[in-house]
Amino acid sequence: MLELRHINKYFKRGDDEQHVLKDISLTINDGEFVSIMGHSGSGKSTLLNIIGLLDREFSGDYVLNGLDTHELSKKKFTKFRNENVGWVFQNFKLIQNMTIADNVGLPLRYQGKSNKEIKQTVDRVLDEVGILDKADAFPKLLSGGQQQRVAIARAIVTSPNIVIADEPTGALDSSTTIEIMNVFKQLNAQGTTLIIVTHDASVGEQAHRMIKILDGQVMGADYEI
């Protein structure tokens, strides 16, 4: 379970401070599929970066799996992220001069796993997202949808309990969007908590719960779908 309590976030803007997240409190339970929607500039990515443990510069509390994230040292915070969260981005963020298998295996390499274990796990997750046949290819030879499958494989290779995606279908056409959403839904059906930021209503409505952000604030009650 993750709990945000009275989160406020400011960015410096010249001499001023911009109040980007305004007293956000929310709880997301294990196994939920939640979408976060709102206009461009409303603070979605800023909020997601906090939820996904990329940003720890905020006021308020963030308790994840019973642990207050402010109590972690910088090093432990990074380790905690790598163990608990898999990230997927709009533009895939694959390393161009590495094969698909090496891209997906990288988080395991950082964890010091053996070559044998890396290969077994990478093959399993590539199979799960339907692109095992591309293991030895390089990213630029793949379509956008295939690249996003690789990015999802990389996000789940460490078996995180939460997968977080910032506009994961933003660079994809509508039929590829449907395919990628099916991969995400399959993951969620297996028990992974899924949190997706999108401004595409057809994507957001596939979640079990929609959180709407307006100008840095959560609007009214959450929407159960």
> Residue 20, interface with ligand ADP (CB under 6 A)?
yes
Stretch that binds ligand ADP, among 43-51, 74-82, 129-137, 141-149 (CB under 6 A): 43-51
Q: Closest distance between ligand ADP and the C-beta of residue 197, in Å?
A: 7
The phi, psi pair for 113, rounded to 5°, reads -70, 155
> Residue 45, interface with Mg ion (CB under 5 A)?
yes
- Determine which residue in the list 2, 34, 38, 64 makes contact with ligand ADP, applying CB under 6 A: 38
> Residue 46, interface with Mg ion (CB under 5 A)?
no
Q: Closest distance between Mg ion and the C-beta of residue 166, in Å?
A: 6
Kindly report the number of other CB atoms within 10 A of residue 172's CB atom: 22
CB 198 within 8 A of CB 182: no
Q: Closest distance between ligand ADP and the C-beta of residue 48, in Å?
A: 7
Residue 136 one-letter amino acid = D
Q: How many residues bind ligand ADP (CB under 6 A)?
A: 10
> Residue 35, interface with ligand ADP (CB under 6 A)?
no
Structure tokens at 25: 């409190």
Structure tokens at 19: 């109040």
> Residue 45, interface with ligand ADP (CB under 6 A)?
yes
Nearest residue to Mg ion, scored by beta-carbon proximity: 45
What distance in Å separates the CA atoms of residue 170 and residue 131, rounded to the nearest whole number?
21
Q: Closest distance between ligand ADP and the C-beta of residue 76, in Å?
A: 24
- Cα–Cα separations (whole angstroms), residue 162 to 11, 51, 127, 193, 217: 27, 10, 20, 5, 23
CB 134 within 8 A of CB 126: yes
Binding site for ligand ADP (CB under 6 A): 11, 20, 38, 40-46
Binding site for Mg ion (CB under 5 A): 44-45
